[in-house]
Amino acid sequence: MSGDKSDFKEEKEVFEEHIRKRGLRKTSQRELILEVFLETEDHLASEDLYWLVQKKDPNVGQTTVYRTLKLLTDAGLAREVRLGDGRTYYEHHFDHEHHDHMICTECGVVIEFFSAELEAMQDAMADKYNFKPTHHSLRILGLCEKCQEKEEEVTSAASGAQPRVRVKTTIN
């Protein structure tokens, strides 16, 4: 950590290094898209990023955003994530340790988690099949805490009968 305002110096260097190595060109669009991307939280759909970029410069085209996201992926700054709907999401990849996702099928919230044991076990499984893993993605679908509550409310309201005490496990 160097300063208060996020400078993303390292990331930008990585990007420029990548550009240089490949004989590509540094353009204002690419700079802008990178900046906007770096300021976002995790799991941004390509199109969402497009809208954010639009706000800052309405002249940037959708195509450029899509292309630049691929470029960022190549550069190791972003990582493609498929959450299960059709879309492609991107998350930060530079200096971000690997993690997996729990996705609430009710509200769509995405919880990130990491387990070294899980990782190790997966590698062991791959080994067993002489499979050489490059990366993996684990998605656990289900209900987040909040939505389990709601579910319960609905259920008890629907069943109508015994007004039993509901174990409320509030969060936040």
For residue 124, the minimal CB distance to a copy of itself (Å) is 8
Of 27 and 115, CB closest to a copy of itself: 115
The footprint of DNA (CB under 7 A) covers 19, 23-30, 45-47, 59-64, 66-68, 70, 86-88
Of 62 and 105, CB closest to DNA: 62
CA distance 89 to 125: 27
CA distance 41 to 18: 23
35, 52 Cβ separation under 8 angstroms: no
Chosen from a copy of itself, DNA, none, partner binding at 64 (C-beta under 5 to 8 Å by type):
DNA
CA distance 142 to 67: 33
For residue 85, the minimal CB distance to DNA (Å) is 8
> Running DSSP on this structure, what letter comes out for residue 59?
T
80, 97 Cβ separation under 8 angstroms: no
Of 61 and 108, CB closest to DNA: 61
- 124: part of which helix (H) or strand (E)? helix 116-128
The footprint of a copy of itself (CB under 8 A) covers 82, 84, 86, 102, 104-105, 111, 113, 115, 117-118, 121-122, 125-126, 128-145, 148, 169, 171
Q: How many Cα atoms are found within 13 Å in the side-chain-facing hemisphere of 67?
A: 10
Of 74 and 145, CB closest to a copy of itself: 145
